[in-house]
Amino acid sequence: MVETYDVVIAGGAIMGSSVAYFLKKELGFAGSVLVVEKDPTYARSATMLSAASIRQQFTTPENIRLSQFGIEVIRSLKDRFGADADIGFHEKGYLTLASAAGEPILRANHAIQLAEGSDIELIDPAEIARRWPYMSTEGVALAAYGRSGEGWFDAWMWLDMIRKAAKSAGAAYAHAAVVGVTTAADRVTSVTLSDGREIACGTFVDAAGPAAGDVAKLAGIELPVEPRKRFVYVVHCREEVAGLPMLIDGTAVASGVYIRPEGQYFICGVSPDEATDGRADDDDFDVDYSLFDDLIWPALATRIPAFEALKLVRAWAGHYDFHTFDHNAVIGRHPTLSNFVFCNGFSGHGIQQGPGAGRGVAELIVHGEYRSIDLSVFGYDRLLAGRPVVEANII
Ligand SMILES: Cc1cc2nc3c(=O)[nH]c(=O)nc-3n(C[C@H](O)[C@H](O)[C@H](O)COP(=O)(O)OP(=O)(O)OC[C@H]3O[C@@H](n4cnc5c(N)ncnc54)[C@H](O)[C@@H]3O)c2cc1C
């Protein structure tokens, strides 16, 4: 017998659960919603393996607005999710360092952030040395710092809270993989699950993270989203480095290395060399320790000499939901297969944008249009038109 749901969502991590939550809870969608998740432990999801940080320091207005809504949700957790809601949020700024060559770009980016109402200030090397005296300002011409609206949180608490709220508002979750998508004319008619069930649907949402391109292919759609490996290193420092923000070192001294506190430890990483970056095998979660020894540690020790005394505690690899076309999200309906909806390709900034993207997709389904943030800039049609979204701050 064919079961029927009004909305079927492939993937139940931050994107799938946010879509389900906004549909059933905040927008009061009366129809039925099924979230199909192949691994309910989420152990290998991008959501669980992320650095779980949120920033305003983007350069695309829509990216800033999505993250501002993320902050709005974090600030209203108890109203939205109940008195016990907590995600361990630390509201601390990103400190983005720029060299003389990068200074004009940092200033231009800052102007966009200010125009969007973000609380970001520019500070010079003397001020950096005053606030963080353990930090060398070698090679730094200017920095941007988030006075509020930025920070980090616990990825599992974030996902678990939204997923539970979606369930209690009436969304059903199935433990299975979507293995087939049947289409007729301009519509998805049903999906086939790995347990053999066939589910007819009114709308199908692709929220499969790094596997989103594979799921789209089941419907005959080319979506250039693929898994790309990124490493997170957990380190301990026996010398005190107090009050460190999320440091993004964009100077030649450290070529994109980031570090932030994580409890008694720090976590750090770096964007890979584009020339060697490529699609990861689905089961490849091996860590490259040489990246830490050869690049990250020396860079950190140059910027913060106390980090000479770092000790690597552990490390993990996660897969970015990497959009090869322009490293930004694809959100919205497919132009011809009109009930196929994308919520994909966030490329390293998706955990903070889950609520904003989930609300946008839910609005499209319920109202047929965006009612809060206009996300049409992220539509699939830009791929067909060869019109990339240019976001200068991709980490
Ligand atoms: C190392 C690392 C650091 C990051 N740091 C940050 C950060 O600091 N800030 C930030 O905002 N973002 C960060 N990100 C990015 C962010 O984690 C992702 O953009 C976001 O979590 C994507 O959410 P998602 O739900 O789309 O994908 P996922 O979390 O990967 O979830 C997809 C789900 O779909 C399921 N699935 C896949 N295929 C199928 C199928 N066929 N059928 C059913 N289910 C399926 C998977 O099991 C999975 O649970 C980071 C990512 C990584 C890897």
Domains of the chain: 3-51+155-225+325-385 (3.50.50.60), 90-149+227-320 (3.30.9.10)
Measured by CA distance, the residue closest to atom 42 of ligand 1 is 177
Q: Is the CB of 232 under 6 A from ligand 1?
A: yes
Those residues of the chain that have pLDDT short of 50 are: none
248 close to ligand 1 (CB < 6 Angstrom): no
Does the Cβ of 246 fall within 6 Å of ligand 1? no
345 Cβ below 6 A of ligand 1 = no
89 within ligand 1 shell (Cβ under 6 A): no
> Which residue reads 């980490």 in tokens?
395
Q: Which amino acid is at 96?
A: T
> Which ligand 1 atom lies nearest to the CA of residue 11?
34
pLDDT in the model for residue 271: 87
38 lines ligand 1 (CB under 6 A): yes
Ligand 1 pocket check for 320: Cβ under 6 Å: yes
Q: Which helix (H) or strand (E) holds 115?
A: helix 103-115
Pair 350, 318: CB distance under 8 Å: no
Q: pLDDT value at position 392?
A: 78
CA of 143 relative to ligand 1 center, distance in Å: 30
pLDDT score recorded for residue 254: 72
Rounded distance from Cα 16 to ligand 1 centre (Å): 10
Q: What is the distance in A from the centroid of ligand 1 to the CA of 47?
A: 4
CA of 308 to the centre of ligand 1 (A): 33
This model's pTM is above 0.95: yes
pLDDT of residue 255: 75
Burial 326-336 (b: 16+ CB within 10 A, else e): bbbbbbbbbee
d(CA 147, CA 176): 43
Q: What is the C-alpha separation between 53 and 158, in angstroms, rounded?
A: 11
Identify the burial level of 262 via C-beta atoms within 10 angstroms of its C-beta, where 0-12 means exposed, 13-18 middle and 19 or more buried.
middle
Centroid of ligand 1 to alpha carbon of 11 (angstroms): 9
**By the 8 A CB rule, do 165 and 25 touch?**
yes
Phi-psi region of 331 (alpha: psi -120 to 50; beta: other; left: phi over 0): beta
Q: CA 311, CA 13: separation in Å to the nearest integer?
A: 32
Indicate the pairing of strand 257-262 with strand 265-270. antiparallel
Cβ 42 under 6 angstroms from ligand 1: yes
Identify the helix (H) or strand (E) that includes residue 23: none
Question: What pLDDT is recorded for position 394?
Answer: 66
